[in-house]
Amino acid sequence: MSLKKYREKRNFKISPEPQGSPKKEDTKPDLIFVVQKHRASQLHYDFRLEYDGALLSWAVPRGPSLDPSVKRLAMQVEDHPIDYAKFEGVIPKGEYGGGTVMVWDIGTWTPEQSDVEAALKKGDLKFTLHGKKLRGSWVLVRTRGFGGGSKPSWLMIKHRDQYASTEDITETQPRSAVSRRLLAGIARDNGGNVELAATGDPASKAIPRKAVSKRAKPSSAAVPRKRRA
């Protein structure tokens, strides 16, 4: 897999993202996967599978769903370096993908087909995830007529097994799988836009808007009564 397109889009003198280096030989055969929650111009989830020395990558606008009846759009993007799986921080404003990045889930994956290359070309990749949040059998199916963009569109679907559920896991488990921080916390610790990052956290819905804030009326206990003449 080539990282040329990935490197062309980034200025590594400014962005803390990894440039990527050749994968070292490792006796550990497990392939890693990562889901990175990314509050850039819009909130989305980047789903990445290690294969052939790089991370195959898809942008999933609404994030993975544990419900087999739900098909989530996944737009294929450029391959990323293996090192990127550990990246959690802030991409500077003005840089490609500028915003806050969280390692929302991480683990290993197992192909359910013997020939991954053929499955990718066919547009029907079945796999099992062994993550901290996502587990069990899944499929990525290439499709047409979704997304409306120039990037290849796929559908990410959960298979029916013991890990299938109607739980909205992006809402119930919003924290980082490695640091337990919310997006706002990651932005705060790395000099990012905390207010913007917080819009990707469920708790931010409870934050009142400044525009509608009103001066609270004093309680009756706080107002001194006038004495009668």
pLDDT at residue 151, rounded to an integer: 75
Q: What is the rounded radius of gyration, in angstroms, for the C-alpha atoms of the chain?
A: 22
Q: 138: closest CA among 59, 44, 66?
A: 66
Distance CA 199, CA 212 (A): 17
- Asked if pLDDT for residue 187 goes beyond 80, the answer is yes
Residue 45: phi and psi, rounded to 5, are: -120, 125
Half-sphere exposure for 78 (CA within 13 Å, toward CB): 14
Is residue 121 classed as helix, strand or coil in its secondary structure?
A: helix
Is residue 110 classed as helix, strand or coil in its secondary structure?
A: strand
Residue with tokens 């909205």: 168
- Cα first-last separation, the chain: 90
Three-state SS sequence of 147-174: CCCCCCEEEEEECCCCCCCCCCHHHHCC
Helix (H) or strand (E) holding 58, with range, is strand 54-60
Residues of the chain with pLDDT > 90, as a percent, come to 71
Strand partners, 37: 45, 102
- pTM over the 0.85 mark: no
Chain segment 157-185, per-residue pLDDT in tens: 999 999 999 999 999 999 999 999 999 99
Distances (CA, A) of 66 to 43, 171, 173, 212: 19, 12, 12, 37
**Every domain of the chain and the residues it spans:** 4-212
Task: Of 6-10, 154-158, 209-213, give the lowest mean pLDDT range.
Answer: 209-213
More reliable by pLDDT, 28 or 19: 19
If pLDDT is split at 50, 70 and 90, which confidence band does 20 have? low
Residue 32: phi and psi, rounded to 5, are: -90, 155
- Asked if pLDDT for residue 219 goes beyond 80, the answer is no
Angle of CA points 157, 161, 164, to nearest 5°: 60
| Mean of pLDDT over the chain | 85
- Asked if pLDDT for residue 27 goes beyond 60, the answer is no
Chain segment 69-122, per-residue pLDDT in tens: 999 999 999 999 999 999 999 999 999 999 999 999 999 999 999 999 999 999
pLDDT at residue 26, rounded to an integer: 47
Distance CA 226, CA 60 (A): 64
